[in-house]
Structure 1
Amino acid sequence: MSVSQTGPRPKRAFVIGHPIAHSRSPMLHGHWLETLGLAGVYEARDVAPEALPAFFENLRAEGYVGGNVTVPHKLAVIPFLAEIDEAARAIGAVNTIWLEGGRLVGGNTDAYGFLGNLDQLAPGWDAAGGVAVVLGAGGAARAAVYALLSRGFAVRLVNRTPATARDLAAHFGEGVTAHDWTALPALLPEANLLVNTTSLGMLGKPPLDIDLTQLKAGAVVNDIVYVPLDTPLLRQARARGLRTVDGLGMLLHQAVAGFAHWFGVTPSVTPALRALLEADIRAKTPGA
């Protein structure tokens, strides 16, 4: 009998969503498993909303130790979990699940990914603190606001639907103010960081049409969009000599904590990993 038949079954992790074929998480975690020499499996599972209860009922029997959660399940998974962490409660969504003492625990690593990306690509971006202007008021904005508050920033939340921005500002309380899109020109001069969390500028979406001339010379511009990698917003910022951070690193860094929970090793976000995903994105992005 071979070693593979008698040895322990490799740990299995997943990403669930509907649809899921577009996910780059299997490529990302597969790279870490291979380079670290770990016997593990990470796979994409297309789970329709009505199939979610059956998936969780069979999760342990299928040998899963946890996984990632993407749309439309980031809220729907919560009833199946014994506990969610503070970040998931504050952000209002779960993107990572793991077994802890035999219990299923949920967390949200998007804020970790957001900060890790900035720390790696724009070292010292938070040294002066001050004001961050965040465009959008959806799930990604929630993660960004949570992260920025943890670094002591005051956040100006700008959204085309002011009521949504006001609700989000009220959720986080002190340190966050809500503004209509028309207020953006007046807010930019005080910003040390500008973050786009909207889908504007993404492949197939309308462009993000704003004027960055009011941004101070030392400001950093972060676009969480990563398809395409080089958005018009980032190109405009670079033309002004500003430091820029694209959205790919957020995807890479948010994956670190989950991998550590499932496979017992904390991986690194390396240039080789980034190059692997960059090549895949460019190959599948028209005109890239």
Structure 2
Amino acid sequence: MMQSPLPVAAAVAANHCEMLRARRSSPAELVPDLGRAGERLASSLGEQLAEFFGEEEPTIRCSGAETTTSATYARLTAPLAAHSLLGLGATKHRVLISIDARIVLAELDRTFGGTGDIDDDDLPAALPKSAELLARKIEQKLVDAFTAAVGGDCALRNVGGNSRYSLLSPFPEGEDLAVLTLEVDRGDRTPWTIRFETDVEGLPVLLSQGGKGARGVARQPASPLDKPFADVPLPVEAQLVDMNIPLSRLAALAPGMVIPVAVARSVPLRIGDAVIARGTVGEMDDRIALQITQTLVSGKEQQ
């Protein structure tokens, strides 16, 4: 007698949504996305940098993004550059912005009546203080524009800088890097370079996988020192006098009357109904001033 095979339940076809079925890109596959972000950056950066070039808008071209190693990048970068090392959120990843020092030195030279022609033979051993200050202003413009170009979802914070790449050592030797290169063209000299460099493994965080944020990545908490929060105006009141006056006396008020008041030893500083600090009244530059003696932090008085 032949045995019939045991019945087997038909398999239920999986029906996943496209978001679950889509394969997450590997970090190296995101290098072209960095290049496309560079194109967006180049199209908007000229107008933002015009204030540093005598209101003349430079032409910015994106040379694309490529992969390299830290040792190779050290040979690529200019002999003297304004390097700014940025932390990427709360992660261990870093972004390095490198500005050809000739950009900064040329603009300083023009400011003081020079031609702005800076050759490699004219480069100093290190950027002077005035050039460093100008470089920091340019770098802030670059950080804001770069953040917008990659989607505005990454939190970049400054963690250091140096005019010599070898002294900065931003990445371990031999680490795979993604480099985005921009050319700044003034039309009358060899184009200068601005480079953005990050470790390849940090690209998913930097590009935020299409603005959704990298899964499992801790995000930097918002700080009141960062824009746009830092520019929000808040009305602050110092309550110098707190007194009670009978209604009969208020009804009898007339010009010339004197009401004695006593300023409290500890004057509260308020935002709305919340006391944020206390202080003592004094004088500074012929104006009444409040010297803070206590601040309210996390619900506790700090002296």
TM-score (norm 1): 0.24
TM-score, normalized by length of structure 2? 0.23
Indicate the structure (1 or 2) with the bigger Cα radius of gyration: 2
> Which is helix-richer, 1 or 2?
1
Higher relative contact order (CA 8 A, sep 6+): 2
